[in-house]
Amino acid sequence: MAAAGSAVGLGNIWKFPYIAGENGGGAFLVVYLVCVLLFGLPLIMTEFLIGKRSGKSAYGAFHALNGNNRWQWLSWVCMTTAFLIMGFYFVVTGWCFNYLVEACMNVFKGMDMQALTSHFKEITTNTPRMIVFGVLPVVLTACVLWFDVNKGIERLSKILMPLLLVMMFLMAGRVLMLDNSNIGMQFFFRFDFSQITPRVVLEAMGQCFFSLSIGMGALITYGAYMPKTQNVTRTSIEVIILDTLVALLAGVIIFPAVFAFGFNPAEGPQLVFVVLPAILEQMSFTWLSSVLFFGLLCIAALTSTISLMEVAVAFLCDASAAHNHPLDRRKSVLITSALVIALVLVCEFWQPLFDSFDNITACILLPLGAMGMALFVGWRLPNNGQKGVLHGEKTHIKRWARKTFIFVLRFIVPAAIIIIFLNSLGVI
Ligand code: PHE
C-alpha cells in the first residue's frame, strides 16, 4: 500500500492528462501502456529487490550489494533526481492545497472556464499565496518524517485511496453524461499511428517512470522495509494495476470534460486545475464533492512527497555516517526541508526552471537511473545461488520467469531506453 501510495499521485491526476493532451491523446495512451508493460514490472521488481536484498536505502544499497563503491554514482543520480522532482512537485501540491481551501470556501461557484483560467493565473502569480502554499506541503511532509508517523499515514491511505477511486468513478460517470463527451473519449482512445513521433515516445516513457515512481530509489526504500516473505512480483503487479487504473480514470474524467466545455486539451500544466473545478461544479452535492476530491488529491500528493523526501533524508543520514559525520534523522529532515523550500521557492517564481525540472527528471534522469539499476541487477549481481538477487524469492518465481527477468534487465530494458533516447535526439 505504501508503494502504491508513492506511485499514485499528481503524476496520475495532474501530469498524465496534461502530457497526454499535449501529445495527441490516443497515440500517447497506446505508447504509454506499452511502456508500462515493457518497463513497469521488471523495473519495479528491480528496485524492490535491491532494497529487500540489501535492507538499505538508495545510498547504502549499491555499496552493500556490490561490496565496493563502484556503483555509488547511481545513488547520487537518485538523490539529485529526488531533489529536482521535489522542486516542482511541491509547487503543484501547493496548488492542490490552495484549491482545497478554496473549495471549502465555495470560491468556484458560478465560475466559467474563462474565470477559472484567470483564477489559476492569479493563484500562480500572487506572491504571498505562492510562498504560503509552496512551503506548507514541505512542512507537512517534513512533519510526517520528523514524527515518524509514516505508518499512520499508510493506514489512513488504505481507507482514503479506495475512496479516491470511488470519487473518480463518480466523476467519470458525471462527465460522460455531458453533451459532446464522446469527442473527448475519441480523442483519448482513438489510436492514430501517424501521431506517434519520437517526442511522443520519449514523453510516454518518461511519464511511465514518473508515474510508477521508478528510477530514483523511492521503491528501494520500500523494498528495504518489506518482510522477507513478501511476494515481490505480486506487489509490483498490484502497484502497476492501481497506478494505471487511476491514470486512465483521470483521462476519462478530463478529456470528455475538456471538449464538452470547449477547452483545449494541450493547455499544459494548468489543464486539470481549470477543468476539475468546472467538473465538480456539475456534480451533485457540489461543496462536499469538491472538498472531498481536493482533500483526497492532497493526501495522494502527500503520500508521494513523503516517498520523495524519504530518499533525500535517508541519503543524508547514510552518506554523513559513511563520512564519519553522522547526522541523526531529525537533523537530516531539517536540512533536507530547508534545501527543498529554497528549491521550491525558486521554481515558484521562475517558470522555466519549473518546466525544465519537470522535463529533465522524467525524460532524462529517471530513465538513466532506471537503466543503471537494470544493468546493476542484470550484470553485476549473481543471478543464482545464495547471493543471487532472486534468492529467497524461489517460491514465487519459476525458473523460466527468473531467466526472462534477468534477460529483460540485461538487454531489453537498456536497449529500449537507449533507442528511445537516440530516436528523440534524431540520431536514429
Ligand atoms: N509517482 C508519483 C506520482 O505519480 C511521483 C513520484 C515520482 C514519487 C518518483 C516518487 C518518486 O505522483
C-alpha cell, 100: 482545497
Q: Which atom of ligand 1 lies nearest, measured to the CA of 212?
A: 1
Q: What's the half-sphere exposure (Cβ side, CA atoms, 13 Å) at 175?
A: 30
- SS3 sequence of the chain: CHHHHHHCCHHHHHHHHHHHHHCCCHHHHHHHHHHHHHHHHHHHHHHHHHHHHHCCCHHHHHHHHHCCCCCHHHHHHHHHHHHHHHHHHHHHHHHHHHHHHHHHCCCCCCCCHHHHHHHHHHHCCCHHHHHHHHHHHHHHHHHHHHCCCHHHHHHHHHHHHHHHHHHHHHHHHHHHCCCCHHHHHHHHHCCCHHHCCHHHHHHHHHHHHHHCCCCCCHHHHHHHCCCCCCCHHHHHHHHHHHHHHHHHHHHHHHHHHHHHCCCCCCCHHHHHHHHHHHHHHHCCCHHHHHHHHHHHHHHHHHHHHHHHHHHHHHHHHHHHHHCCCCCCHHHHHHHHHHHHHHHHHHHHHCHHHHHHHHHHHHHHHHHHHHHHHHHHHHHHCCCCCCCCCCCCCCCCCCHHHHHHHHHHHHHHHHHHHHHHHHHHHCCC
Could you say which residues of the chain have pLDDT below 50?
none
Residue-level pLDDT at 398: 77
Query: What's the Cα-to-Cα distance from 407 to each of 42, 119, 367, 414, rounded to whole Å?
Result: 10, 51, 18, 11
C-alpha cell, 151: 505508518
**Ligand 1 pocket, residue 220 CB under 6 Å:** no
Q: Which atom of ligand 1 lies nearest, measured to the CA of 7?
A: 1
Give the distance (Å) from ligand 1 centre to CA of residue 220. Answer: 13
| Class of residue 416 by CB neighbours under 10 A (exposed 0-12, middle 13-18, buried 19+) | buried
Contact by Cβ (8 Å): 60, 69? no
Q: What angle do CA 157, 272, 279 make, to 5 degrees?
A: 90
Give the distance (Å) from ligand 1 centre to CA of residue 324. Answer: 32
Alpha carbon nearest to ligand 1 atom 2, residue: 7
**Ligand 1 pocket, residue 271 CB under 6 Å:** no
C-alpha cell, 149: 508517523
Note the pTM of the prediction, 2 decimals.
0.95
Alpha-carbon gap, residue 383 to 404, rounded angstroms: 12
What structural domains does the chain harbor?
2-424 (1.10.4160)
Contacts of 124 (CB under 8 A, 6+ apart): 95, 130, 270
| Class of residue 388 by CB neighbours under 10 A (exposed 0-12, middle 13-18, buried 19+) | middle
**Ligand 1 pocket, residue 365 CB under 6 Å:** no
C-alpha cell, 233: 512480483
Give the distance (Å) from ligand 1 centre to CA of residue 137. Answer: 15
Give the distance (Å) from ligand 1 centre to CA of residue 230. Answer: 22
**Ligand 1 pocket, residue 337 CB under 6 Å:** no
**Ligand 1 pocket, residue 218 CB under 6 Å:** yes
Mutate to test the pocket of ligand 1, among 78, 220, 306, 307 (most ligand atoms within 8 A of CB): 307
Alpha carbon nearest to ligand 1 atom 9, residue: 213
CA nearest 278: which of 254, 303, 310, 248?
254
Give the distance (Å) from ligand 1 centre to CA of residue 92. Answer: 12
Contacts of 376 (CB under 8 A, 6+ apart): 50, 62, 65, 66, 71, 74
C-alpha cell, 257: 470534460
Query: b or e along 300-309 (b: 16 or more beta carbons within 10 Å of the residue's beta carbon)?
Result: bbbbbbbbbb
**Ligand 1 pocket, residue 42 CB under 6 Å:** no
Give the distance (Å) from ligand 1 centre to CA of residue 8. Answer: 7
Q: Which atom of ligand 1 lies nearest, measured to the CA of 366?
A: 9
Alpha carbon nearest to ligand 1 atom 7, residue: 213
Contact by Cβ (8 Å): 23, 29? no
Give the distance (Å) from ligand 1 centre to CA of residue 111. Answer: 31
Contact by Cβ (8 Å): 370, 214? yes
Express each pLDDT in 119-150 by its tens digit: 999 999 999 999 999 999 999 999 999 998 77
**Ligand 1 pocket, residue 29 CB under 6 Å:** no
Alpha-carbon gap, residue 377 to 386, rounded angstroms: 15
Contact by Cβ (8 Å): 397, 405? yes
Express each pLDDT in 201-211 by its tens digit: 999 999 999 99
Residue 106 φ/ψ region, left for φ over 0, alpha for ψ in the -120 to 50 degree band, beta for the rest:
left
| Class of residue 114 by CB neighbours under 10 A (exposed 0-12, middle 13-18, buried 19+) | exposed
Q: What's the half-sphere exposure (Cβ side, CA atoms, 13 Å) at 273?
A: 24
Give the distance (Å) from ligand 1 centre to CA of residue 201. Answer: 19
Helix axis angle, 286-322 to 58-66, nearest 10°: 40
Contact by Cβ (8 Å): 35, 205? yes
